[in-house]
Structure 1
Amino acid sequence: MPTPETLFLIDGTAQMYRAYHAIRDLTGPDGKSTNAVFGFVTMLRKLINDHRPPLIAAAFDLRGPTFRTEIAADYKANRPPMPDDLSEQVAWVHEACEALGVPVLTHEKFEADDVIGTLTKKALEKNLEVVIVTGDKDFFQLVQPHVQIFNPRDQGRWYDADGVKLKFGVNPNQVVDVLALMGDAVDNVKGVPGIGEKGARELITKFGSLNNLLKHSEDVEKTRYRNALAQHDEDANVSRELVTIRTDVPIPFDQDTLRYQGPIAERCYSLFSSLGFRKLLSDYAPTAAVVEKDYEVVRTESSLSTLVESINNVGRVSIAALTDKQPPMQAELVGLSLSIGSGHARYIPLAHRALDTGSTLSIQAVRALIAKPLTNQKISKIGHDLKHSSLVLGRHNLPVEGITTDTLLINYLLDVTGKHDLGGLALEHLGYNAIELESVVGKGTKALSLADIPIEA
């Protein structure tokens, strides 16, 4: 396992592609694809939570030519272009890395592999341990004492030198020679025609290296291999140059910059909110501004009269009908919540079966006092899912008129495919973690009716 001074280097481009193909049909509030970002962020958060890396960075490819295309103009020519819906997510992936506290590293004319190879070399010079986070077998060539590969796929797989030999069949320092012989059709690395992975392993195992193999190609037993090596020795050498990960990229190594100092909560919250990653928001929610709270349970006609007077003076009220069940045409009205401003809330208990309500109000008394402001169209009614509340209240002879703002409908218009629960909206827009109803009444078959919950619960 990693020591306290371990540098984690993430093969960002490969992990982004993997996330893109692993998750499909995920879009943000604006309808744009977010699958690659979400998958990448999920991987990165898990990596950080599981391994607490002291030092970390993510390397990415840049668009444009590289030194490899200067060696072979048709290098990667067979690869299809990056899909448009992935291309538009690249900037978000980079932003997510930086928001989570992970530096993004790139260099013109070099690939992410070379950036990682160079940082690995420089880290070893500073006596650091290195973990390369990738699923790409090309990185096996970098494994050596103090350098491991971690593939985050499934539950995660670690590869040291023994692991590379077990997985790939040769020692890490022979991997590049096997890759050069077998070639890579996807990257258009020619290799030696007719020699596949198995044959390449056998030849390198026997001759030790590509250089020695080419020097003694006449000693190869299989005629087909012998002739191919004689005819394509130059292709083999060019292929070796193409598959070799460079360790001399002119990129600085700043240990302080690489040191992990945690996420930047404000950036995470802003980015993930804009992308619609609501499940992640609670980890980065800003501290809510301190608001003086004025919460009361209305138990007497005098208190209710005072509340009605305040509603009339302010000219607006937020309402929520609390019921014993969801379907509004069958629900019993258990209580009514009202608010005239930030930090202000009043609760009128109506049908609590608990014995501690202390209320002297009857539904008739409540109806006599509250009905007028509820039907006054000059008093704005605000709420969440007011269709439900107004149906319930209407069935109890408390009709509601003058509805001006329903946050459920507003959110639906902004994001048709998203979730519209009040708790999620409070977290997303206010950074406020609302108490879930299930935490009060329970869930499943053991859930209580709201009418059985003490008011002070």
Structure 2
Amino acid sequence: MKTLTIIDTFGFFFRLFYALKGFKNSQGQASGMISGFANFIYSLKNEYQSDYIIFALDSKGKTFRSDIDPNYKQNRTPPPPELLEQIPICIDMIEKMGFMNISWEGYEADDIIASVVKTFKDEDVFIRIITQDKDLYQLIKNGKTSIYSPISKNEYNEEACLEKYGVKPCQIRDFLALCGDTSDNIPGVKGIGAKGAKKLLDEFENIENIYENLTLIRNERTRSLLLEGKENAFLSKKLTSLYEDLKFENLLEKAIFPEGEPLLNVLEILKHYELNSLLKKLHNNSENNDKKLDFKANLILDENKLFEILNSLDRESIIAFDTETTGLDTKEAKIVGFSFCISENEAFYVPLTHNYLGVKEQISLSSAKKAIELIFNHFVIGHNLKYDFQIIKNNFALNPPKNYADTMILAWLFNPSLKVNMDDLALRLFDYETLHFENIVKKGENFANVELEKACEYAAEDAYITLKFYLYFLKNLDPNLLEIAKNYEFNFIKIIMMMEENGIKLDTQALESLMKKFESEIKNLSEEIYTLCQDKFNLNSPKQVGDILFEKLKLPSGKKTKTGYSTDEKVLNEIIDQHPVVAKILDYRELAKLYSTYCEPLIKLALKDQNSRIYSSFLQTGTATGRLSSKDPNLQNIPAHGQYAKDYKSCFISQDGFSFISLDYSQIELRMLAHFSEDEKLLNAFENNEDIHAKTALMIFGENNYQTRSIAKSINFGLIYGMGYKTLSKNLKIETNLAKSYIEKYFENFTSIKNYFEKVKKKAKQNGFIETLIGRKRYFDFENAKPMQLAMYERESINSILQGSAADIIKLAMVEIAKDLDGDKKLILQIHDELIFEVKDNLCENFVKKVSDIMENIVKLKVKLQTSSNIAKKWGDLK
């Protein structure tokens, strides 16, 4: 189906003017509307994908509505001169750029738009109306006509119209007839507002039915208002009714979207009004077009052709591969097609399940499976292969190929601090602007609704650019990093897939019961807080909490900003001793967050699954240090501490006949510090299995007790994260001089550590990067860093080595452990330095011994690695 975009032009101009009021060129000429319009044109091809475009203009002078009601639009104040002077320039731009524009004497743009919609009501043309005007919502029809708001960027179909106004498109005239429209001086029925109008139309459908059944309206006031306003109601409906019988000749031929960049035809206007930012973009685009990567996108609809290509390939061929689907959730998404590329000259798209009126016959799913099996016999390249492998497994029951490479992982290894998505990477490496998904797929639709030709262009490009990435990294990536990718990172994709597939079971009854307890506690805490403050306020509003604490209760506060006082956890902890309500607010927030962030969403997910299991997504390239991250839901962020954490985690249970096993590296980052710094005291402490925090306490304070050990622990772990004495003084609530003396005493005892930190900082500045244990790199732009950034980079360079090396070790261990996993021994979670398994009860003891041995001996260090293990039926019972 072709798309026609039609623009309610003057309404659009007016909104641009008021949004960008005050913009002028150096000669003092108003330029805001011209600037906004030019930028709108620049975004047209991407934001409003369209085959045809029309600008609908209001005619000069009176229209037929003025005859119906002389007061129509008479309440409007005359537009300011700077608005009027820009309109002819914008209309001149429309004509010079080659866009079709229509005006019709005696009629408004709305009538032109309505007539265009009627003209194509039986044609295979979809019409998108760009407007902010309520009147035009009456034209909406699913599959045929939508309204697009250029301000909110929302597209409205029948359901969205109902959600926005509370009435169906066919009731918009009746809605306005009742509540009126002040912008057009449409009177409506005095005293009836939007809510009242909606209620009446819900019951009676339209104003004709309302007035035929006035006796059925129970509310006497409403009935009286309707009687008094009857004449205005029907007058208003007439005024909002659109004229739709204007006739046009050869409309589509004249409305074809112009080729090339339309703005190049109005460069003089852009220069005169000094739209320099836009001129620069146009210049850059012109340069980029000269560098456009050149390949042919081939659509395959013939099965013989598909197998002819695949069967002709050498066994050693490299194939870039990508899938197109109905969604991002791999458990639910259906495959729509796949693309592949075997050379830098051309790429292929194989459509399977596109679904729209008039779609051609596509390749069958059974043939697609055979084709993918052939592809998987070769070396497969992909960008985010975890997703594609899961789609293929869930749709075709095919396992990943034996040999593969993921360019997203290679990009992450190349520079883990930069974005690794396809669009950003193509722009960064090749200065190439890829087709964007949101410009191909309409809002509310999925890839199955995309026309085959457009889909081919987009999907084939994905495979093509993936092959380009791979060839680039083969040439430019450090050989050691290529080896890391081949030996560990690519294998790790399957381990993540396995964890995601396993999931973790939630006891929904236990959580429902706990939620009821939480609800009661939240209510009690709220009442306690209100009593202590002698006021009732919104506890979820930081502004209101700030006003109560710092204005009413006069507690010491930080600086007040435009949005109010800061009341984050750090601020509240600093004043926790000042008033008993502060601790209560922190308790309330902990419980409210637990309830809304972890209880409600997770129970919904568990109830969707027949085994009550929750499945997280793990991101291999989500952090610069190398740690895995988790999302949808983030199971790594489940509260581990606090008074409610154990009860909550106990709702996660092992399946019948199985137990959870937790294996956790003990103080691995401190052990990394001992390994790299080679500090003798630290190495000896670990060698002799001493309590490192107790030993540090003795060295700094000369004694070890609960308080000194706690301070020592803060210092030990804080220094790994680059903590300075100011942070230590805040954390411990002590004088800065005292905190400074603690850290100095620490370095006096662990002399090699201070030397090591200085060495890391110096080397990072010289090289511009740090390296982890196995050689992964993280880059820092010390040359262009401001003083504050410089200090941050220094802290992060140390932490990236220690935390990054710990991440290396657990990843190496997971790759080795995975060789022994099966249905009886499953890895279900990785939480930084901890692995959680679900293992058959009779296998637990031997499994713990074997995995502990792997984890403790996976690398040879100057310090021994140590693990602790726990076995339990509930996550909350794992120590």
TM-score (norm 1): 0.59
Give the equivalent residue in structure 1 for 2:170: 173
The AA in structure 2 aligned to 1:275 is Y
How many Å separate the matches in 2 of 1:124 and 1:180?
26
> What are the within-5 Å matches in structure 2 for residues 342-421 of structure 1?
none
Q: What is the CA distance between 1:175 and its match in structure 2?
A: 1.2
Query: Secondary structure in 2 aligned to 1:247?
Result: coil
Partner of residue 273 from structure 2, selected from 253, 272, 275: 275
Render the CA deviation track for 1:40-60: whole Å, top value 9, x for unaligned: 222232132223311111112
2:31 is the counterpart of 1:48: no
Shift of 1:135: 2.0
Matched, 1:228 2:225: yes
Find the aligned partners of 1:186 and 1:14 in 2 and give their Cα distance.
11
Distance 1:193 1:255 in 2: 44
Native 8 Å contact 1:75 1:189 kept in 2? yes
Q: Equivalent residue for 1:292?
A: none
Which residue of 102, 106, 115 maps to 2:112? 115
Aligned to 1:106: 103
Structure 1: which 4+ aligned runs deviate by more than 6 Å?
Answer: 285-288
- Equivalent residue letter for 1:17: F
Match of 1:66 among 60, 63, 66: 63
CA contact (8 A) 2:176 2:237 kept: yes
Letter in 2 for 1:231: E
Distance 1:55 1:29 in 2: 36
Question: Is the Cα–Cα contact under 8 Å of residues 122 and 253 in structure 1 kept in the other structure?
Answer: no
Quick one: which amino acid aligns to residue 268 of structure 1? V
Q: Deviations over 1:19-63 (max 9, x none)?
A: 111112211343210111111222232132223311111112233
- Structure-2 separation of matches of 1:67 and 1:107: 12
Kindly report which structure 2 residues correspond to 1:307-318, keeping only aligned pairs within 5 A, or say none. Answer: none
Q: Counterpart of 1:308? A: none
Distance 2:263 2:194 in 1: 47
Residue 866 (structure 2) aligns with: none
Q: Is the 8 A contact 2:53 2:255 kept in 1?
A: yes
Counterpart CA distance in 2 for 1:53 and 1:185 is: 33
Of 19, 23, 27, 2:20 maps to 23
In structure 1, distance between residues paired with 2:69 and 2:253: 37
Give deviations 1:388-421, integer Å, cap 9, x for gaps. Answer: xxxxxxxxxxxxxxxxxxxxxxxxxxxxxxxxxx
| Residues 169, 201 of structure 1: 8 Å contact kept | yes
Shift of 1:256: 0.8
CA-CA distance at 1:251 after TM superposition: 4.3
Distance of 2:182 and 2:32 partners within structure 1:
27
Q: Which moved more, 1:74-83 or 1:41-50?
A: 41-50
Percent identity between matched residues is: 28
Structure 2 residue aligned with 1:309:
none
1:136 corresponds, among 133, 144, 161, to: 133
> SS at the partner of 2:184?
coil
Q: Which residue of 2 aligns with 1:32?
A: 29
How has the CA–CA distance of structure 1 residues 157 and 264 changed in structure 2, closer, same or farther, with 3 Å as cutoff? closer
Q: Deviations over 1:255-284 (max 9, x none)?
A: 111110234455221221222222333566
SS in 2 for 1:221: coil
SS at match of 1:56: strand
SS at match of 1:64: coil
CA distance in 1, matches of 2:178, 2:286: 58
Contact 1:180 1:236 in 2 (8 A): yes
Partner SS, residue 193 of structure 1: coil
Q: Residue 245 of structure 1 aligns to a residue in which SS?
A: coil
- The AA in structure 2 aligned to 1:280 is L
**1:305 matched to which residue of 2?**
none
Which consecutive unaligned segments of at least 5 residues does structure 2 have?
Answer: 288-780, 786-879
Aligned residue among 142, 149, 157 for 1:160: 157
Contact between 1:268 and 1:284, CA under 8 Å: does it hold in 2?
no
Aligned 8 A contact 1:118 1:247 in 2: yes
- In the alignment, the residues of structure 1 paired with residue 156 and residue 782 of structure 2 have an alpha-carbon distance, to the nearest angstrom, of 45
CA distance in 1, matches of 2:204, 2:281: 55
Secondary structure of the structure 1 residue equivalent to 2:79: coil
Query: Does 1:205 find its partner at 2:186?
Result: no
- Supply the AA of the counterpart residue of 1:79: R
Q: Which blocks of at least 5 consecutive residues in structure 1 are unaligned?
A: 289-442, 448-457
What is the rounded CA distance, in whole Å, between the counterparts of 1:13 and 1:151 in structure 2? 14
Using CA pairs below 8 Å that are at least 6 residues apart, which structure has the higher relative contact order?
1
Residues 52 and 252 in structure 2, CA contact (< 8 A), matched pair in contact too: yes
Structure 2 counterpart of 1:195: 192
Counterparts of 1:444 and 1:26, CA distance in 2: 39
Supply the distance in 1 between the matched residues of 2:256 and 2:246 (Cα, whole angstroms).
Answer: 21
Which residue matches 2:9? Answer: 12
* TM-aligned CA distance change 1:269 to 1:237, over 3 Å: same
- 2:146 alignment partner in structure 1: 148
Distance, in Å, in 1 between the alignment partners of 2:160 and 2:782 is 47
1:77 aligns with 2:74: yes
What amino acid sits opposite 2:276 in the alignment? R
In 1, Cα distance between equivalents of 2:228 and 2:249: 42
CA shift in 2, pair 1:221/1:210, >3 Å: same
Which residue identity does 1:277 align to in structure 2? L
CA RMSD, Structure 1 to Structure 2 (Å): 2.4
Shift of the 129–20 alpha-carbon distance from structure 1 to 2, 3 Å rule, reads same
Amino acid at match of 1:77: Q
SS of aligned partner of 2:72: coil
Moved more, 235-244 or 279-288: 279-288
Residue type matched to 2:31 in 1? T
Q: Considering fraction of residues, name the structure with more helix.
A: 2
Q: Does residue 183 of the first structure (1) align with residue 190 of the second (2)?
A: no
Q: Distance in 2 between matches of 1:45 and 1:273?
A: 15
Measure how far apart 1:221 and its partner are.
1.4
Deviates further, 112-121 or 37-46: 37-46
- Does residue 81 of structure 2 align to residue 89 of structure 1? no
2:151 maps to amino acid: R
Change in CA separation of 1:252 and 1:179 when aligned onto 2, cut-off 3 Å: farther
Per the normalisation by structure 2, the TM-score is 0.31
Q: Deviations over 1:124-167 (max 9, x none)?
A: 2322101111122222111013111111224x101111111111
Contact 2:39 2:278 in 1 (8 A): no
Q: Secondary structure at the residue paired with 1:186?
A: helix
What is the CA–CA distance in structure 2 between the aligned matches of 1:21 and 1:444, rounded to whole Å?
Answer: 44
